[in-house]
A = this chain, B = another copy of it.
Amino acid sequence: MNYSVSEENYLKTIFHLQKKEGTVTTNELAAELKTRPASVTDMMKKLKTKKLLHYQPYQGFRLTADGSKVALGIIRRHRLWEYFLAEKLNFTWDEVHEVAEELEHVSNKKLIDKLDAYLGYPKNDPHGDPIPDASGKIEQGKKIRLQDAPLQIPCRVAGVRNQSPGMLELLAHKKIRIGTILEIRQKFDFDHSLEVKTGKQQIITISRQLAENLLVTHED
């Protein structure tokens, strides 16, 4: 019932990767965790014997129901701490991830549930990602890329797919944050750039690269 820091980091990363495609490969996971494929194989064998993973050699892997449950617990802790750091300790949203990466491994249930209550049961972390509740249930607001959002309909920035310093710098410059309301006025086929109206009625231009990495939900 208790997992090592290393096991937890593997489980969480597999959970995220398998959302994008059904199944995760050895090299993919090694790249994401900055480790070697041989190390991944070793860990996959271990997680399989613990029944947290479906795995047959050369076939890729995905979490079992038990594995997903463990992963959701880690993600809950990670995102609650991110919220705490941003909301209570005044960390900026690009600083919180690194610290939460360590705090997430303190797995005392009472601590996390009390933290949740103290924070007022927040629904989303500072990056707009949903926070699983105490039972592991996660609210999926259907996030789409700004690029794919309909014209003339206001939507709300709910997350980013990329947290590179360059991206964050650009967002800061354009004054776009989680929660910012955007409405696409026009799409230009030539360079796939967008002309967008902000909540403050300013007209700005958003490049294809940025529009691909901005996640929005329907405003309501």
Residues of A within 8 A of B (CB): 85, 88-91, 95, 98-99, 102-103, 106, 108, 110-111, 114-115, 118
Q: How far is the CA of A102 from the CA of B110 in the complex (A)?
A: 14
Q: In the complex, which residues of chain B have a beta carbon less than 8 angstroms from the beta carbon of A89?
A: 111, 114-115, 118
Q: Oligomeric state, in number of copies? A: 2
Q: In the complex, which residues of chain B have a beta carbon less than 8 angstroms from the beta carbon of A103?
A: 103, 106
Q: How far is the CA of A111 from the CA of B98 in the complex (A)?
A: 11
Question: Separation in Å of the A135 CB from the closest CB of chain B?
Answer: 20
Q: How far is the CA of A111 from the CA of B108 in the complex (A)?
A: 19
Q: In the complex, which residues of chain B have a beta carbon less than 8 angstroms from the beta carbon of A102?
A: 106, 108
Q: In the complex, which residues of chain B have a beta carbon less than 8 angstroms from the beta carbon of A91?
A: 110, 114
Question: Separation in Å of the A32 CB from the closest CB of chain B?
Answer: 22
Q: In the complex, which residues of chain B have a beta carbon less than 8 angstroms from the beta carbon of A98?
A: 108
Question: Separation in Å of the A122 CB from the closest CB of chain B?
Answer: 15
A99 touches B108 (CB 8 A): yes
Q: How far is the CA of A124 from the CA of B91 in the complex (A)?
A: 25
Q: In the complex, which residues of chain B have a beta carbon less than 8 angstroms from the beta carbon of A114?
A: 89-91
Q: In the complex, which residues of chain B have a beta carbon less than 8 angstroms from the beta carbon of A110?
A: 91, 95, 99
Quick one: closest B residue to A111, CB to CB?
B99
Q: How far is the CA of A57 from the CA of B58 in the complex (A)?
A: 52
Question: Separation in Å of the A112 CB from the closest CB of chain B?
Answer: 10
Q: In the complex, which residues of chain B have a beta carbon less than 8 angstroms from the beta carbon of A95?
A: 110
Question: Separation in Å of the A138 CB from the closest CB of chain B?
Answer: 23
A-B CB contact pairs (8 Å), 5 listed: A85-B111, A89-B114, A89-B118, A95-B110, A99-B111
Q: In the complex, which residues of chain B have a beta carbon less than 8 angstroms from the beta carbon of A106?
A: 99, 102-103, 106
B88 touches A118 (CB 8 A): yes
Q: How far is the CA of A118 from the CA of B111 in the complex (A)?
A: 18
Q: How far is the CA of A34 from the CA of B206 in the complex (A)?
A: 60
Given contacts A89-B115, A91-B110, A99-B106, 12 further A-B contacts (CB under 8 A): A88-B118, A89-B111, A89-B114, A89-B118, A91-B114, A99-B108, A99-B110, A102-B106, A102-B108, A103-B103, A103-B106, A106-B106
